[in-house]
Amino acid sequence: MPDAERRKWQDPDVILKEAGLQAGDTFMDIGCGYGFFLLPAARLVGATGLVYGVDISTPGIQSIEASAAREGLRNIKLVNAEAEKTVFCKACGDIIFFGIDLHDFRDPAAVLQNARKMLKTGGRVIDLDWKKQPSPWGPPLEIRFSETKAQQLLETAGFKIESTRDSGPYHYMIIAR
């Protein structure tokens, strides 16, 4: 689906601001895909911030690199790898972001343990994911995580749920610390 169509029902700028992202932050997009959230995050954090992205999709990483070069964004560090094996740094992230993908990882618990290692004291983990209900887009219902299951995964990884709310018609957003 083209980004312009997706933006009609999911605005990354609004979502990132709701998540509390601000200038100067260090943002980590785990499973960044083609940069739907990562590129707007890089613009929001500005020259004093830093954005990390990891994804197993080589074309996705290459697309982000090309877009960043076109826009002159120099605050992005990308890794073409499995999130289960990626820790960018210790206690350096203000926001660790899972943009509609926590259900996609081979080992979500390992990915969340890595997030715990990377998160600064006082930082936030954001899980934006598909509601477990029929929708015109998205993955099959059987692989989606309900809000309850996602909360349990986060709590098991040692995070405290701060809030859970709807994020548009098809998604929920969990903010945890």
Amino acid letter, 98: F
pLDDT digits (tens, 9 = 90+) for 37-47: 999 999 999 99
In order of start, what are the domains of the chain with their CATH numbers? Answer: 3-176 (3.40.50.150)
Cβ(42)–Cβ(73) below 8 Å: yes
Distance separating alpha carbons of residues 60 and 57, to the nearest angstrom: 5
And the tokens for 108?
């979500």
Half-sphere exposure for 103 (CA within 13 Å, toward CB): 20
pLDDT digits (tens, 9 = 90+) for 152-169: 999 999 999 999 999 989
pLDDT digits (tens, 9 = 90+) for 50-96: 999 999 999 999 999 999 999 999 999 999 999 999 999 999 999 99
